[in-house]
Amino acid sequence: MKAESQSRVFEAVPGSLEPIRDFITTFATAHDIDKKKIFKLCLAVDEIATNIINYGYRLADIDEGTIHVCVSYRNRQLTVILEDHAIPFDPIKKGMPTPEELMKPVEERPIGGLGIFLARKSVDHFDYEYKEGKNHNIFVVDID
């Protein structure tokens, strides 16, 4: 019997990025989800988790932050929710590079700014909520 949902708490440190991806991959693979979709989901989650680790908790001056990862599969949708108690940060309010900017030669581009773009573009639905003192980043992949 495959679990409908699983959750785990990870330390908010760079060394947790791969274990978070592995946790999601193991769950998604057990539900026979296409490898390409799993990769893109992991990329999206990795980008947001990186922001939480590198900026969210640092700016909040919290040394021992955590990221709560919940992954679930219902109604042909795979959903990952990341919860953290770092500073409130809504990735949807962050500007995205325009198609023109993405076409620019690399020499004329800023070095940053691609992470949130990749996070939002790599899943079918991305949402954000701040409630009960926590950021909730929600990633949904539709399964055909």
Partner 1 sequence: MGFTVKKEIFEKYIAFTLCGSLDSSTAPQFNEEVRQVILQNPQTLVLYVDELNFMSSAGLRVLIFAKQKLGTAASLILVRPQEQLLETLRMTGLIFSVSIVDQYPE
Binding site residues, partner 1, CB under 8 A? 14-15, 17-18, 21, 36, 39-40, 42-43, 46-47, 50, 53-54, 102-107, 109, 111-112, 114-115, 117-118, 121-122
- H or E stretch including 11? strand 5-11
C-alpha distances (whole Å) from 70 to each of 48, 111, 135 are: 14, 31, 13
16/27 Cα distance (integer angstroms): 17
Nearer to partner 1, 43 or 70 (CB): 43
Smallest separation, CB 85 to partner 1 (Å): 20
Nearer to partner 1, 108 or 132 (CB): 108
Tell me the residue type at 119: A
Nearer to partner 1, 35 or 125 (CB): 35
Smallest separation, CB 25 to partner 1 (Å): 10
Please identify which residue in the block is written with the tokens 């198609």. 99
